[in-house]
Amino acid sequence: MAKHNIILTKQGNTAKGTIQLTGSKSECNRALILEALSDGEVKVENISDAADAVTLKSILDTTKMEPPQLFVQTRKIDEHGKVTTSGPVLTTGVESGRQVDVGPAGTAMRFLTAYLPLLNKNVTLTGSARMQQRPIGILVDAMRKLGATIDYVNNEGYPPIHIHSGFEQQTNAITIKGDISSQYITALLLIAPKLSQGLELHIEGELTSKPYVEMTLAMLNQTGIRHSWADNVITIQPQDFTPTTLYVEPDWSAASYWYAIAALSDEAELFLPGLTPYSLQGDSVITEIMANFGITSVFKGGGVYLTKEAKPIARKIFDMKECPDLAQTVIVVCAALGHEATFTGLETLKIKETDRVLALQTELAKMGVKLIEKGQVYKLDCSERNLPQHMFISTYDDHRMAMAFAPLAILIPELEVEDAEVVNKSYPAFWTDLEKVGFKSEPLS
C-alpha cells in the first residue's frame, strides 16, 4: 500500500474545542477476548474503531469458541463395501490449516498466541514484516509449558508460529519475567478461567507496566472472574463468566496528544467527553504528568476539561515504566519546550512497532535535540535546540511517532508527516480532529 505524506500547519497558537475520542484500544482488545471466551455471556459496547481492535474483532468473529456438541451421523455400506455417512459434521470456529494474519497489530498477536491453542485447531498465526521481528518466545514458552504444541515457522522466538490441535493442560504454575511486555502476562491471565487447572502466575522481578495488568484483572472481575494476588503470584481458578456488558471507555492514550497540544499552546480550552478520573487505563496518569506543564484537568459534565496556565516546569525526572505509551508524547513536549528532562522506564520501547528510542533520537536530532542513553537512563540535551521552518517527520510504521510529533506544528510553520494513514492503528480520526482546533493537513501528491 502506498504511503501518503501530509503537510501539517497551525494558524495561531491557541487550542479550543470539544473532541470525542474513540474507545480505548487497550480496554477494547481485552474485552473482545473476554467476549470470545465467555460463550456469549460477555457483551462489549463502544468498540474502538482503531485498526488493531477492528483486526482482532474480525479474527475473533471467525474463530469463536463453541460449546461441545454431539451429532448423530448415519453410516451406510453399499454392495461394493464403500462406507458413506450422512448428517451434520462438527466444525468449531476457525478451520484447521487456516492462516491468521494480524498485520501490524501487536496486541492481537500476543492475545491470540494464548487464545488460539484453546480452539483445538491447527492454525498458523502471522503478521506484518515488522511483526515478524518482534519477539514472542517468552509467551510461546509459557503456552508450551501449559500444554500447547507450538512451532516456529521461520525464526526461533518470532512469528509466524504454527499452533497444533490437541491442547491438554499439563501444569497450572507458570513463571514469567516482570520486566517484559505486560501483554504476555495479560494474554495468560485472560485465558486462565478457561484452563481446566486454572493458572498460578509467578512474576519474576519487578513488574513493568503494572497498570495494564491491573486493568486486565479489573476487567476479569467485571465479568465475574475472581483472582488472588499475593506477593508476586497471581492465581485464577477455573470459573464461569457471568452475564456482563463491558463498556469501553474513551482512549486515554489518544487523550495524551491533546494534553501535548495544550502544553505547546499559549492558550488552551479543550473538552474530552467520556473520560473519568477513575479509569482502568494506566495512561490516565497523563493528567498528573501534564500538570507539570501548566495543564489543569477538571472532571465535570461527563468528561474532562483541559486548560493551560503559564508556569515554570520544575519536574526533571519522568519515570515512564508504568506508562510507556506516553513516553514519546512527553519526550517530544519536553524537547519542543527546551526542557532538559531525564527519563527512565523506556526499556520496552525498543520492541514496539519500531525501536522507539532510536526513532526518537533520529527525529529529535532534526531540531537539534539529543536523547542521550546511559544504561537505562535517558537525558534530553537541548543545548543546540533549533526549531526549523520546515521539518520532515519519519514515522517508521508507528502510529505513536506520527501523533507524538504532530503537535510540533504549533511551533514549526510547516511540518511534513510521513505516512499519515499510520494513525489508523489506534486513532483513525486524528487528523480530522486536529482540524477542529485550527490545524490544517494537506496531502502531498
Record the cell numbers describing residue 8, joined without a space.
501539517
Cα 96–chain centre separation: 28
Alpha-carbon distances, residue 233 vs 144, 152, 208, 360, 419 (angstroms): 20, 29, 15, 36, 43
Name the active-site residue from 325, 398, 419, 433: 325
Record the cell numbers describing residue 211, joined without a space.
497498570
Is 325 among the residues known to form the active site? Answer: yes
Calculated CA dihedral for residues 416, 421, 422, 425, nearest 10 degrees: 150
The three-state (H, E, C) secondary structure of the chain, written as one string: CCCCCEEEEECCCEEEEECCCCECHHHHHHHHHHHHHCCCCEEEECCCCCHHHHHHHHHHHCCCCCCCCCCCCEEEECCCCCEEEECCCCCCCCCCCEEEECCCCHHHHHHHHHHHHHHCCCEEEECCCCHHHCCCHHHHHHHHHHCCCEEECCCCCCCCEEECCCCCCCCCEEEEECCCCHHHHHHHHHHHHHCCCCEEEEEECCCCCHHHHHHHHHHHHHCCCCCEEECCEEEECCCCCCCEEEECCECHHHHHHHHHHHHHCCEEEEEEECCCCCCCCHHHHHHHHHHCCCEEEEEECCEEEEEECCCCCCCCEEECCCCHHHHHHHHHHHHHHCCCCEEECCHHHHHCCCCHHHHHHHHHHHHCCEEEEECCEEEEECCCCCCCCEEEECCCCCHHHHHHHHHHHHCCCEEEECCHHHHHHCCCCHHHHHHCCCEEEEECC
Cβ atoms 360, 366 nearer than 8 A:
no
Residue with cell string 502506498? 2
Record the cell numbers describing residue 259, joined without a space.
494534553
Residues assigned a catalytic role: 325
